[in-house]
Chain A
Amino acid sequence: MRKLKWLAVIPVMIGLAACSSSPKASSESSSAAPAAAPQQQLKPVDPATVGEITGVVKFDGAVPHPRMIRMGQDPVCQKANHDKPVYFQDGEVNSNHTLPYVFVYVKKGAGQYDWTPPSEPVVLDQKGCMYEPHVMGVMVGQQFKVINSDPTTHNIHPMPADNRAWNESQPPGAPPITKTWARPEVMVPVKCNEHPWMRCYIGVTKSPLYAVTGDDGTFTIQGVPPGTYTLGFWTATFGTQEQQVTVPPKGTAKVTVTFKAS
């Protein structure tokens, strides 16, 4: 497709538009999305009936040997971590054979509700030349704020597939960068162009029904209206999974998933 597009450019270059390739190039538009479904009436969430989903994400396999981050080329970063070793977070496994940094979110089933994003922003901090948090969620339209707590210049370079990419630097003393995300996307990787080891992931969702597992591998999603959902589990290095779950009114649904070593 890409090549066809450029084929179409060649005749333009010499000012002739009548090259034989134009009918082929036009086929590109045929894959356009079908017309949007008629607007559904969105229901408000009844706070009296909501329940929650809790669970744990386990890991089956040998605990991998943690890999140390080499920050030797920015002494500011070494100093910020008091010269203690820092380890890569992707692929990290908790000592109790559970996984941290798993993004758990309602993938299907919550579309009929009216979710308005909270007014307080989600904050991404840059501290000790690491992103804090490593995995995070944000709602479509919610304020997303980036701050820099390090005495060195950072660069924030999200590389989304569906949202608008941006690439801005944040020197120490610069004001926070505030953005919003227009479309749901799981996950948006974020790079720092100044410190190649830095990376975090942002899950952009339509609902606030998401959570990230902690250092015991557990998670809790609160405020879930009763119903049946498909949960999505995302990890940086062990792949993704899905699971059906039914939440009773005012009740708790328990989930356990297990990832295998790749």
Chain B
Amino acid sequence: MAELEAAVHHHEAPKGFIRRYVFSTDHKVIGKQYYFLALFAVVIGMFLSWLMRMHLGYPNYKIPGLDLMSPTGAPGNVMTPEYYLSLMTMHGTIMIFFVLTTAPQSGFGNFFLPLQIGAEDMAFPRLNMLSFWVTFVALMVLLATFFIADGPPISGWTAYPPLSSIGSVAGPGEGLGQTLWVVSIALFCVGALLSAINFIATTLDLRTRGMNLMRMPLTCWAWLVTAIVGLLSFAVLFAAGVLLLLDRLGGTSFFTPAQLKVSGVVLQHAGGSPLLWQHLFWFFGHPEVYIAILPGMGITSHILSTFSRKPVFGYRAMVYALGAIGILGFMVWGHHMFVSGMSPYSAFYFSILTMAIGVPSAIKTFNWLGTMWGGKLRLTSAMLFAIGFVSMFVTGGLSGLFLAQPPLDAYLHGTYFVVAHFHMVMGVAAIFAMFAGTYFWFPKMFGRMMDETLGKIHFVGSFVGAYLIFMPMHYIGIAGNVRRQSEFIDNFMQPLLPIHRFITIAALATGAVQLIFLFNLFWSMFKGKKAELNPWEATSLEWTTPTPVPYDNFNGRLPVVHHGPYEYNVPGAAKDYIMQNSTEVVAAEAAG
């Protein structure tokens, strides 16, 4: 009977290859497209970091073949200072925009948000397709800078004017390279904005019956808050990008002060303010940090609960904390600017709010620990990476308490302490969440299981490796090692060089461990063990529909939700979990 009805309501995917896999409007295809885009980007980004690390640890070592990548940037395989800065800029831009913003939100979010809330697709499928392709073009424009004469820009991912606003007189890469960079970022903003609109409308209006907001898995909450944060912040970055582009090409002076003499040339600008860019940029830039980490928080909460076989500890507190982080995230941008020349009084205001944002972060940490407390932990690869996320988030978050205090920041700002801080908290932690999500959802995305043994080796290698890379950066940061330098030439830095070598070796080794993941990912896609319908015995709706997921997700019949998302080990229930759409009525659930 059920099958007959399904046939009536069933919707077929379009037939042609292009409409089905390339210009597809199917959220599952788009989710995978985003995922593989991010995977491609992260491989490039990591490769760039290898080159940088090799140069930092062994400045005289000639990396074979580097001059093929850039004949002027690395003549005779010797890396020039500007090429180092180009690599650094591209590493930062690629990682932050095309990996951390793309994979956890647009990748997993696209694939699993409609499945978890019981919808047939995103609200605006064609808009969704457009978001992806705009993002794709943005990445291509960015990568094109590697192939132009002057090479990629050298002004870092923050692109502070006047360095970024006055053209090639500021240095190699600041000509066409920087222009392409701004264009790429502006395009990325457009893609992100369209995507955010889609996420919000989908979450608010496409939930299936019974799926009220407080029954949504925390992943959906995280995607929702992230989308709202993205909606409000990317618009501002877009505005800043337009103004920067006009300064570069239109002769305006929004960010470029008057009376500059650069490389012996007096520039014709009327009197703009470099600090204005910093305000606009960080008004986006700080929320961006949360755009990168919030989906990871959602995924971590979801997975910790699933594999602890225990409801999320303090579900409501988790939701409120997400909201609080999202709101406070817009009020703290000035903490990137304590020593920028901004008024010291506002520095003080920003620092207090920044400390306040530590509170919801701490709440989340305690609740994660609370979720594990008294649970029955199944240590799958996904679970291990979720635990790794908590560990990294704590470590990276705590170093933020130093940087949030202006007097301490006046020493630590611009040192490797900052590098260690943000790599831990938004780099490694967010990537751990992506790994967790991959191991967890792979069966749903590809119908097969990933190899658990390889997964565990991958975890141990990555976990230990991440600490070996980034913990020493705290020490050299405290010792005063300045960041963004392509070489450490002075006597002061020389004693720290052995640590840089250590970090380099750790980075190369940890990078090599990631090859295990790549192998596992592609091998399992074709050769992995066939996945069961609900291999993790999880409760959320994506596990109620067969794999491969039908084109319309639920075969034309949407599930009805009767339970909260994390009903594990409910006393009196038949099994140790109650799926969200189960009609089983358990007395203890309401009481719990």
Contacts and interface: CB of A to CB of B under 8 A. Distances in A.
Interface of A: 2-3, 6, 9, 76, 153, 157, 159, 165, 167-175, 177, 189, 191, 193-194
Contacts of A159: 263-265
A200 B390 CA distance: 58
Contact of A167 (B78, B168, B264): B168
Interface string B165-184: 00010011000000000000
B344 interface: no
Contacts, number: 52
B345 to A, nearest CB: 34
Contact of A153 (B62, B81, B251, B264): B81
B82 interface: yes
- Interface SS majority for chain B: loop
8 contacts: A9-B250, A167-B168, A169-B81, A169-B83, A171-B75, A171-B81, A191-B263, A194-B81
Given A159-B263, A159-B265, A193-B263, A171 B250 contact: no
B76 interface: yes
Contacts of A170: 75, 80
Nearest to A2: B251
A157 B251 contact: no
Given A153-B81, A165-B168, A167-B171, A174 B263 contact: no
Contact of A174 (B76, B172, B265): B76
Given A171-B75, A171-B78, 11 more contacts: A9-B249, A76-B489, A157-B263, A167-B150, A167-B171, A168-B172, A171-B80, A175-B75, A175-B76, A177-B75, A193-B263
B172 A173 contact: no
A234 to B, nearest CB: 18
Contact of B80 (A3, A157, A168, A189): A168
Contacts of A171: 75, 78-81
A193 B263 CA distance: 7
Nearest to A199: B264
Contacts of B72: 168
B482 to A, nearest CB: 15
Nearest to A172: B78
Task: Rank and list the top 3 A-B pairs by shortest CB-CB distance, nearest first.
Answer: A169-B80, A175-B76, A174-B75
Nearest to A153: B81
Interface string B48-91: 00000000000010100000000010011011111100000000
A11 to B, nearest CB: 13
Contacts of B76: 173-175
A189 B264 CA distance: 10
B75 A167 contact: no
Of B62, B264, B265, chain A has the most CB atoms within 10 Å of the CB of: B264
Contacts of A193: 171, 263
B82 to A, nearest CB: 6
A175 B78 CA distance: 9
Contacts of B80: 153, 168-171, 174
B264 A174 contact: no
Contacts of B172: 167-169
Contact of A169 (B82, B249, B250, B264): B82
A175 B71 CA distance: 11
Contacts of B264: 159, 189, 191
